[in-house]
Structure 1
Amino acid sequence: MHVRPFQESDRGDVVALWNSVFADDPPWNEPNTVIDTKLRTQPELFFVYESQEKVVGTLVAGFDGFRGWIHHVAVHPDHQGHGVSRLLIEAAESGLRELGCKKVNLQVRKGNEGAADKYRSMGFSDEPRISMGKLL
């Protein structure tokens, strides 16, 4: 069991995990499109957690030169509560630091207090912001 960079051979496991964990995701977050985009931009910030030769956790991060972002943190339900997301976050923070990142952000869906509490326990804090988006 360990965190490692995404490999193309992980695609099937990652797509299945995301389809399961993010079943209510909007259509613009189609897994194969997200993967293809990440592989073109900072692929070194795409992490998986592998257990018994199967991907059971993922994290995608990015750095825009000013701040880092963490998203697509997913852990298979059978592996939740065992520190998988913490190890993935630590790997992302390390990768972001290597790029010169000084601050990292993430977003939690409204109502997902379990995830918010987990991130708070890792040192993240609520910020007085309104998150906005726009489809292009």
Structure 2
Amino acid sequence: MTDLRIRNAAPEEAEAVLAFWKEAAEGTSITDDVDGVTRLISRDPEALLLAEADGVLVGSVIAGYDGWRCSLYRLAVLPSHRRRGISTALLDAAEKRFAAVGGRRGDAMVLEANEQAQRAWTSAGYVREDHWRRWVKRFT
């Protein structure tokens, strides 16, 4: 896409990002609310990357870095804009961010049932590690 622009999200865009995820992303998270998104952006202003085409939000990825690990979440592209290189552009931007801060490996969270996402991550060069499992505990 020649008119694609990758940029960082602003706190005032939290509601628009949430609406975008409802349309373009699989699954939901306990932090899928305005407070969660604005807290992410406030803590790490470069973490939430957005893709725009002709002023329309068409893609996102969270590229979080905590000083230790590079974590990727919420890679999503509008269904009407898939297979146009948007996820590739988002991941390229995320990986450049990680390289600039000295990151050594990107870890992606991918839903087990989301086969389309698994194919996208595989085509981007990411490999599933079956010997790890995610352990969670809700605090609220």
TM-score (norm. length: structure 2):
0.86
Give the conservation status (yes or no) of the 8 Å contact 2:24–2:77.
yes
Aligned to 1:31: 33
Find the counterpart in structure 2 of residue 6 from structure 1: 9
| Greater alpha carbon shift after TM alignment, 30-39 vs 8-17 | 8-17
Number of residues paired by the alignment?
A: 135
* Contact 1:10/1:55 (<8 A) preserved: no
Question: Which residue in 2 is equivalent to 1:91?
Answer: 93
Q: Structure 1 or 2: larger helix share?
A: 1
Structure 2 residue corresponding to 1:135, chosen from 114, 134, 138 = 138
Aligned partner of residue 125 in structure 2, secondary structure: coil
Equivalent residues of 1:13, 1:54 under 8 A apart: no
Query: What is the deviation of 1:114?
Result: 1.5
The answer for unaligned runs of 5 or more in structure 2 is none
2: CA distance between counterparts of 1:129 and 1:90? 25
Deviation at 1:121, TM superposition (A): 1.2
The DSSP-based 3-state class of the residue aligned with 2:110 is coil
> Any idea what SS the aligned residue of 2:46 has?
helix
Task: Determine the C-alpha separation between the residues in 1 that align with 2:14 and 2:137.
Answer: 28
2:113 corresponds to which of 100, 111, 114: 111
- Does the CA contact (< 8 Å) of 1:19 and 1:31 recur in 2? no
Question: 1:72 maps to which residue?
Answer: 74
Letter in 1 for 2:70: G
Shift of 1:24: 4.2
Tell me whether 1:21 sits opposite 2:24 in the alignment: yes
SS in structure 2 at match of 1:116: helix
Q: Percent of pairs identical after alignment?
A: 24
Moved more, 39-48 or 100-109: 39-48
- The amino acid across from 2:19 in the alignment is A
Matched residue, 1:46: 48
